[in-house]
Structure 1
Amino acid sequence: MTDHTASLPGTDELRRRALDALRRVGASVPAGTGLSARSPITGETLLDLRADTADDVGRAVDEAAEAFATWRTTPPPVRGELVRVLGELLREHHGDLADLITIEAGKIRSEALGEIQEMIDICDLAVGMSRQLYGRSIASERPGHRLAETWHPLGVVGVISAFNFPAAVWSWNTAVALVCGDTVVWKPSELTPLISIAASRLLDRAIERTGAPAAVHRLLLAGRDGGEALVDDARVALLSATGSTRMGREVGPRVAARFGRSLLELGGNNASVVTPSADLEVTLPGIVFAAAGTAGQRCTTLRRLIVHRDVADEVVDRVAAAYARLNVGDPFDEKTLVGPLVNERAATAMATALDRAAADGGTIVAGGNRLGSGGGVFVEPALVRMPGQTAVVREETFAPILWVLTYDTFDEAVALHNDVPQGLSSSIFTRDQQEAERFLAADGSDCGIANVNIGTSGAEIGGAFGGEKETGGGRESGSDAWKAYMRRATNTINYSDRVALAQNVSFL
């Protein structure tokens, strides 16, 4: 791996870039204390910001609840117009928003631009969706009666997002919630306040252009206490939270205790199965991007490689050679493929996991070293052969570690794949149709996402995104994920001139 950390931009340069991007989108920074905008590129603080308090959370929910009374009766295509204008503004400021993501989350340029494209795509999808919030007609057993299902806006939607997709996950929830007639209160990660300010300002501009109620969206810049206030507020009908399984264990029961709804997108421990028939020219780039992209800080990052024993050595050698060609360093440099970890805690977690693996008999084949001497946390993605699926392999370490396991039979591969608590994304590389179909069958992968001849990362917005088991069971983005943001009503319409009870009940 090539160390490109010697020529990183300085804190002053990053601060200037961030302020320029904010100025171009029309946003200003709430000066004060309580939160700091920092960059993982240098590890240093860029700006100090005012943190919202629990009282601010209450006011934001008050305003969103009041706006909901108007927004829910606004025709869905009119609601879609707001999202259409937001999409236009995202296109106009594509590069500005990508700059902020690179500065605050450390993503390489192409991935940052890709995240903004994902926001644009979900806006396009949601605009079309605004004319397709379909119910259904159901055959009634009673003459002169009709059954129907209708869908109605749910209420205030709280969104708690994570640092690794600081804008896209907000857009998944917000674009869909708005066309469904909901209002949104957003508490982003405290690690990425600047991109949150910019995205929220663009939505405010779209609100101003379309005449939508100003409080259909509210931004909260707060720490854990602000998130907890949002979780516990009974007026928040749906709480969508993206983060660790540990966070989900706290959020889920608290929302359920007040009979609210939760949409949880939690941890992943994603695996790819490589069979003897796999086309390794297709397999290699799928593995390397999924494992090393975003410095291993995606919920869909490839963390386990389950390879047939007959091809394991060749696959490992190819991946190790590809890792050796990865440039690690300045994410603004177009040659860089791996940017920084988000903070020192991530580096400590990675080092601890590698030490545990060595104690279990694992062997580091490539990478695993720390690079650079500055405040930013840069590491080489690690490739580690393991003697089995030990405890550390079954856990999610949010860093670029790829554990290599071997198998002999297809059933063994599926059993290894499913033998983890998480169930987000999965894939198989094979040219055998039977293996592909078995992997996608009910007794194959137990994940919410199952791919063939492609890696675990890079989902399109047209399909529903989410996972099973400790991943939380939530679904966002496309398909019929919109139903999570609405309430269903079953309607019985009697258009006859008599009363007929169901099940032939006779009364009076």
Structure 2
Amino acid sequence: MPIATVDPATGETVTTFDALGAEELEQRLARADETFRTYRRTSYAQRAGWMRAFADLLDGEADQTAALMTLEMGKTLKAARAEIAKCAAGARYYADNAERFLADVPYDADAVGAEQAYTRYQPLGPVLAIMPWNFPLWQVVRFAAPALMAGNVGLLKHASNVPQTALRLEELITRAGFPAGAFQTLLVGSSAIEGILSDRRVVAATLTGSEGAGRSVAEVAGRQLKKTVLELGGSDPFVVMPSADLERAAQVAATARCQNNGQSCIAAKRFIVHRDAAEEFQRLFVEAMRALVVGDPTDDATDVGPLATEQGRTDVEELVADAAAKGADVLCGGTRLDGPGWYYPPTVVAGITPDMRMHHEEVFGPVASLYVVEDLEAAVALANDTPFGLGSNAWTEDPQERERLVEGLDAGQVFVNGMTTSYPPLPFGGVKASGYGRELADLGIREFCNAKTVWVGKAAAPDAGTAASE
């Protein structure tokens, strides 16, 4: 894929970029290595000051940054502004909490015959971040804020269709006061990742992306014995029981499925409804999906903009067509919109069976799969019948049902009576093919730290004769 800005609303190429040459790439890797040696010794207070200045720049220049995000990947301007506000909040969260999260942790010194015993968290070095286009700012900031506050330095290999957003982020971090080598954008193609990750100066990697990309990065890192954190795909269930507030559940369901134009790993994708609630929920859900406004992402009246790439829309079309050909019912949407741009309408597909691709594959667009089950146990079994395990939603007012769903859903997160999202104060990550490791909260900042164990022996008792003579 060329490194280029292509407007999803029109399909027109706006600008292209040359990939870094070998000499330029070497210079950036050397700069990261050199910067880390001094940056790691800066104080938490100094880093926090820079991080808060970065948050202020995000807030103060939100309109310019939001316009770039909308231009490059098609999210609505109002969604872009919300993403920027979330990034600023995340930056301030780590500015406020990093020192506390990474404070020395004492252990029982007497149990190991020591004067002191504790763990000290120390940064690892330059970390490679391989990031996707769907949340082009937040995905990076939720790595960069904790990594920089811990004393690491970052190397960003962003998706090739959001190069201006990637460069903008480096510019803002540098303008905030961070040393020039603390965070660098590398405009390179995917073929360069193996060489960068294999370089001795790069100590770890984090990736948010597809399952295939995660396997490739994990394989390279494994050969080099380097730490990785992977956040991969999701096919999140949205379980609705009869005790739920069905009207609210249906409204949230439409937002949960079509947020970010349906292009979110933690978007609800499979809607699993108890038979006793199915008819009413389906009516309300289809109404809510039909009511969403599809159109120009720069218009604040728009709810759903274009998909980010032409291939992405083709992939969605093929999955819906496969289901329809095998007997599924398309309750709304299901056909691309006429005109320029890569638009696809909010779509609900019912009657999904295991022989349909939609049953097993992630649909990365505003398409919902609707299932009807007989009871709670069938809902849990169907929810877990996926290779993924990122997020999940449970809608019930029954305490016993809630506990069964919280305990039984195989996922990194369970949101009860609310939409799955990421919050800086909560750990974020998945299980199964959705990856491993955690971002955000205290767990996220410790992922790229050395938890160094320190044992300090007890002072020797003074010699009795010497003590008496003194």
Fold-level match, TM-score > 0.5? yes
Among candidates 132, 139, 152, match of residue 182 of structure 1: 152
Give the distance between the partners of 2:82 and 2:345, measured in 1 at CA. Answer: 23
Cα deviations by residue, 1:415-449 (Å, 9 ceiling, x for unpaired) = 111110001010111111111122112xx111111
Cα distance, 1:386 vs structure 2: 2.1
Answer yes or no: is the 8 Å Cα contact 1:57–1:226 preserved in 2.
no
Cα distance, 1:189 vs structure 2: 0.7
Q: How does 1:23-422 map to 2 (within 5 A)?
A: 35-132=3-100, 133-140=102-109, 141-207=111-177, 212-374=178-340, 376-392=341-357, 393-422=359-388
Answer yes or no: is the 8 Å Cα contact 1:382–1:401 preserved in 2.
yes
Distance change >3 Å, CA 248–CA 391, structure 1 → 2: farther
Partner of 2:423: 460
Answer yes or no: is the 8 Å Cα contact 2:261–2:307 preserved in 1.
yes
Cα distance, 1:156 vs structure 2: 0.5
Partner of 2:464: none
Give the distance between the partners of 1:188 and 1:161, measured in 2 at CA. Answer: 5
Q: Could you tell which deviates more after superposition, 470-479 or 282-291?
A: 470-479
Cα distance, 1:377 vs structure 2: 0.6
Partner of 2:466: none
Give the distance between the partners of 2:215 and 2:196, measured in 1 at CA. Answer: 16
Give the distance between the partners of 2:23 and 2:336, measured in 1 at CA. Answer: 42
Q: TM-score normalised to the size of structure 2?
A: 0.94
Percent identity between the two aligned chains:
31
Amino acid at match of 1:337: D
Answer yes or no: is the 8 Å Cα contact 1:368–1:382 preserved in 2.
yes
Equivalences, count? 458
Cα distance, 1:238 vs structure 2: 1.6
Amino acid at match of 1:168: W
Cα distance, 1:142 vs structure 2: 4.3
Give the distance between the partners of 1:144 and 1:417, measured in 2 at CA. Answer: 50
Give the distance between the partners of 1:493 and 1:487, measured in 2 at CA. Answer: 18
Partner of 1:506: none
1:473 aligns with 2:439: no
Cα distance, 1:102 vs structure 2: 1.0
Among candidates 438, 449, 452, match of residue 486 of structure 1: 449
Answer yes or no: is the 8 Å Cα contact 1:37–1:104 preserved in 2.
yes
Gaps of 5+ in 2: 462-470
Distance change >3 Å, CA 495–CA 365, structure 1 → 2: same
1:184 aligned counterpart, secondary structure:
strand
Give the distance between the partners of 1:129 and 1:234, measured in 2 at CA. Answer: 31
Give the distance between the partners of 1:394 and 1:362, measured in 2 at CA. Answer: 15
Gaps of 5+ in 1: 1-32, 499-508
Give the distance between the partners of 1:352 and 1:217, measured in 2 at CA. Answer: 39
Amino acid at match of 1:493: V
Amino acid at match of 1:139: D
Cα distance, 1:58 vs structure 2: 2.8
Cα distance, 1:361 vs structure 2: 2.3
Extract structure 1 runs of 4+ deviating beyond 4 A.
Answer: none
Give the distance between the partners of 2:206 and 2:51, measured in 1 at CA. Answer: 19
Cα distance, 1:34 vs structure 2: 5.9
2:311 aligned counterpart, secondary structure:
helix
Answer yes or no: is the 8 Å Cα contact 2:47–2:148 preserved in 1.
yes
RMSD over equivalenced CA pairs, Å: 1.6
Answer yes or no: is the 8 Å Cα contact 2:77–2:298 preserved in 1.
yes
Cα distance, 1:497 vs structure 2: 1.3
1:329 aligned counterpart, secondary structure:
coil
1:488 aligned counterpart, secondary structure:
strand
Give the distance between the partners of 2:113 and 2:152, measured in 1 at CA. Answer: 37
1:365 aligned counterpart, secondary structure:
strand
Answer yes or no: is the 8 Å Cα contact 1:129–1:179 preserved in 2.
no
Q: Could you tell which deviates more after superposition, 401-410 or 137-146?
A: 137-146
Cα deviations by residue, 1:226-250 (Å, 9 ceiling, x for unpaired) = 3333233232112011110011111
Answer yes or no: is the 8 Å Cα contact 2:48–2:149 preserved in 1.
yes
1:162 aligned counterpart, secondary structure:
coil
Q: TM-score normalised to the size of structure 1?
A: 0.87
Give the distance between the partners of 1:367 and 1:54, measured in 2 at CA. Answer: 47
Amino acid at match of 1:440: V
Answer yes or no: is the 8 Å Cα contact 2:352–2:369 preserved in 1.
no
Distance change >3 Å, CA 261–CA 391, structure 1 → 2: farther
